[in-house]
Amino acid sequence: MTPDTGKPDTFLTIFSAPKPFTNPHINVIQRNAIQSWLHLGDDVEVILVGEEDGLAETAAEFGVKHLPEVARNELNTPLVSSIFELAREASDSPLLCYVNADILLIPSIVDVARKVANQTEDFLVVGQRWDLEVTELLDFPPGWDARLWADAQTRGELHAPSGSDYFIFPRQIFGDMPPFAIGRAGWDNWMIFQARQNRWPVIDATHDLLIIHQDHDYSHLPDGKPHYDLEETKINAALGGGMHHMYMTLDSSHELIRGQVRPARLTRDRLLRFLERTLHPGVEKGWRYKLSRRFRRMRRGVW
């Protein structure tokens, strides 16, 4: 807190749970991501959670807060609930932002967060990412964000609206989470579902906010399998209430367009997703399930 005003020292806390820094490419892209967060402005704090190999040394090198005592499941995978709780306890900013450790952010994220916070109280900001191949350490001289934006538009590709790589939300919400495993699918979808269930605006900021995912393989995961093929992903889905609760960006209730929060437009993609979601019976059988799957294939065919 600032002594003379009693206000928080920071407006937005960025927190993440990086993978081990032992893989050379993962090391490069995570260092790039952390440095981009550190260039977001003076009113942003960065917190790294976990005790993966190389994390303590990297946090010390960049001078960021490190919280190693994260709770883990029986397979030694850190728990999302513990990561969120530790970050909330160690920060005092009104807004929190969880972001995956391979994501490059640019300073406009702070402006986006302010504009949303000025228009609504409890909310969740999500959005699609741009996929970009990055193999070398990046520099951050003046104008780095404009050059990164141009590079993403030239070489990158907008990812399909499934999965989420960042969440911006007020610190008073998401205080009670199931024991999801981090780095596995399912928990990010539950975040959107939970917000919709609580009637908090879920705001798709894709139009106004550039989020860049640095492409990588899955060699850091067990047997090199993609996270959605792992048993812990099935457990995450079950903890979240089943596959029909696995919401995505297309399930957002609102959009951010030129700084204004407004109801989400009914696009073809959103309509197909609405039909897929509302027809799903919650079990994988019957005519409603088959029809739901058909709409799902139609939606994916668009992409």
Task: State the CB neighbour count (10 A cutoff) for residue 168.
Answer: 25
User: What's the pLDDT band for 223 if we cut at 50, 70, 90?
Assistant: low
Between 40-49, 66-75, 216-225, 230-239, the lowest mean confidence (pLDDT) is in 216-225
Measured between alpha carbons, how far is 215 from 184 in angstroms, rounded to an integer?
17
Q: Give the pLDDT band (50/70/90) at residue 143.
A: very high
CATH classification for the domain delimited by 12-265, as one of 3.10.20.30, 3.30.70.1020, 3.90.550.10, 3.40.190.10: 3.90.550.10
How large is the angle between the packed helices 231-239 and 187-197, nearest 10 degrees?
Answer: 10
Q: Which tens digit of pLDDT belongs to each residue from 2-24? A: 545 455 689 999 999 999 999 99
- Do 48 and 18 contact (CB within 8 A), yes or no? yes
pTM of the model: 0.90
pLDDT above 90: percentage of residues in the chain: 74
Domain ranges of the chain: 12-265, 266-303
**Alpha carbons 20 and 58: distance in angstroms, whole number:** 11
- Kindly report the average pLDDT of the chain as a whole number: 90
pLDDT at residue 224 greater than cutoff 80: no
- At 161 the pLDDT is 87
The answer, yes or no, to whether residue 145 has pLDDT greater than 90, is yes
- Alpha carbon distance 262, 284 (integer Å): 34
